[in-house]
Amino acid sequence: MRLERGAPVGVLGAGAMGSGIAQVAATHGHPVTLVDADAAALDRARAGIEKALRREVEKGRLDAAKAAEIVQRVRFYSAPAADGMGVFAECALVIEAIVEALDVKRAVFARIEAAVSDGCVLATNTSSLPIAGIASACTRSERVLGVHFFNPAPVMPLVEIIPWMGTAPEIAMHVRALVDGWKKVTVFSSDTPGFIVNRVARPFYGEGLRLYEEGIADIATIDWAMREVGGFRMGPFELMDLIGNDVNFAVTSSVFEACFFDPRYMPSITQQRLVEAGRLGRKTGQGFYDYREGAANPEPIIDRAMGERIFERILVMLINEAVDAVHWGVASRADIDLAVTKGVNYPKGLLAWADQLGLDWVLARLMELQEDYGEDRYRPSVLLRRMVREGRRFE
């Protein structure tokens, strides 16, 4: 079966991500086989897809007959009824979106491979695991790659396509073209920790936490600075509360460990304590802020000069991370800027922002921080130093 419009697609895991991915593929004309170990998850997935499509109809973006066709294109199977992975036998592409555990994903990939045809492409939606580690569970591992959607998949435009060192280049190109046809913005990332977005965005949270832990500003003021001075949609603390402090802390910890404890990615004890206290954010009613009925929350201190210092410090750390990602070949310049504007809604691409501010200005701010703290965390990327020395820009 060839990877083309209308080809059957399998999705394993009907949770938040799998159900959204199934909806996207069905919307773009693919018959979808959605499988989960838990029958209740499938019921929730069906209800979730129907609700999302109903909303599209109400908003006049989809007609009711089309919405019904989309739902009918999805077949739901709980794992016992899935005959091992036999229900995927006719699929041209299977996307896995189950629990984030390497040993479980490896076992499942071996089982899927045994059930599908030789031409079927196998993709994982993992956020943090090495694609190489998953692919090597397969015999024909050249057809395995990462296809990383963002949450919620039907809404977020970005998809990171992650070939591992053994993925056949033509398969990666085909998958990118297919997902482009699903009206997504695709970028290629190397198989490195956090891929593009979860790596480059780390300082947004990490440096915000650092400013707070050092007592330089309180959470409300830091959030205000990033919104009002920086033009970001949300500040780091409100965003961590929205994502869930457990999820955000786990991503930071995994990137930190996977980068052999590079101090740039060091997790925060403050956030760890929140997780230990069960204050996970909006979903538990308390996080950095208190979301319970009638709760009082801190007001920001509106001091423009302070706001600019906060914003500049977080921004230069983000830019340094983006420049370093270019240096290490994580992705192209264009894809890095697309990833942060489409994946995490930054107001500008970080490399374009660096050009606009002047690379020499960014370097000078980082060198001040490095001098002040004497920490490797603040080391400027070698590419930033070189570009300043040679008077180059990113555009």
Ligand X SMILES: NC(=O)c1ccc[n+]([C@@H]2O[C@H](COP(=O)([O-])OP(=O)(O)OC[C@H]3O[C@@H](n4cnc5c(N)ncnc54)[C@H](O)[C@@H]3O)[C@@H](O)[C@H]2O)c1
Active-site residue numbers? 127, 148, 160, 198
Strands 32-36, 121-124: pairing is unpaired
Give the nearest distance from C-beta 333 to ligand X in angstroms. Answer: 24
* 252 near ligand X, judged by CB under 6 A: no
Of the candidate residues 3, 16, 132, 367, the single one contacting ligand X (CB under 6 A): 16
Of the candidate residues 14, 112, 306, 323, the single one contacting ligand X (CB under 6 A): 14
* 36 near ligand X, judged by CB under 6 A: yes
Q: Between 100 and 257, name the residue whose CB sits nearer to ligand X.
A: 100
Nearest to 95 by CA among 138, 125, 58: 125
Residue nearest to ligand X (CB): 15
Q: How many residues does the chain have?
A: 395
* 104 near ligand X, judged by CB under 6 A: yes
E strands within 290-358?
Answer: none
Of the candidate residues 3, 15, 90, 272, the single one contacting ligand X (CB under 6 A): 15
Q: Between 14 and 175, name the residue whose CB sits nearer to ligand X.
A: 14
Nearest to 353 by CA among 265, 231, 234, 238: 231
Q: Between 159 and 310, name the residue whose CB sits nearer to ligand X.
A: 159
Computed on alpha carbons and rounded to an integer, the radius of gyration of the chain in Å comes to 22
**By the 8 A CB rule, do 93 and 9 touch?**
yes
The pair of structure tokens assigned to 10 is 């399998």
* 266 near ligand X, judged by CB under 6 A: no
* 10 near ligand X, judged by CB under 6 A: no
Q: Between 35 and 351, name the residue whose CB sits nearer to ligand X.
A: 35
**By the 8 A CB rule, do 130 and 100 touch?**
no
Nearest to 298 by CA among 364, 347, 235, 371: 235
Q: What is the distance between the alpha carbons of residues 371 and 115, in angstroms, rounded to a whole number?
A: 58
Q: Which stretch binds ligand X (CB under 6 A): 91-99, 163-171, 295-303, 375-383?
A: 91-99
Extract long-range pairs of 217-222: CB within 8 Å, 24+ residues apart: 217/301, 217/306, 217/310, 218/298, 218/300, 218/301, 219/288, 219/289, 219/298, 220/297, 220/298, 220/299, 220/300, 220/301, 221/300, 221/301, 221/303, 221/306, 221/307, 221/310, 222/310
Of the candidate residues 52, 87, 93, 98, the single one contacting ligand X (CB under 6 A): 98
Of the candidate residues 11, 17, 70, 201, the single one contacting ligand X (CB under 6 A): 17
* 37 near ligand X, judged by CB under 6 A: yes
* 126 near ligand X, judged by CB under 6 A: yes
Of the candidate residues 43, 56, 90, 100, the single one contacting ligand X (CB under 6 A): 100
Give the nearest distance from C-beta 73 to ligand X in angstroms. Answer: 20
Provide the sign of the torsion angle of the four alpha carbons 288, 252, 176, 37, taken in this order.
negative
The residue ranges that bind ligand X (CB under 6 A) are 12-18, 36-38, 41, 79, 97-100, 104, 108, 125-127, 149-151
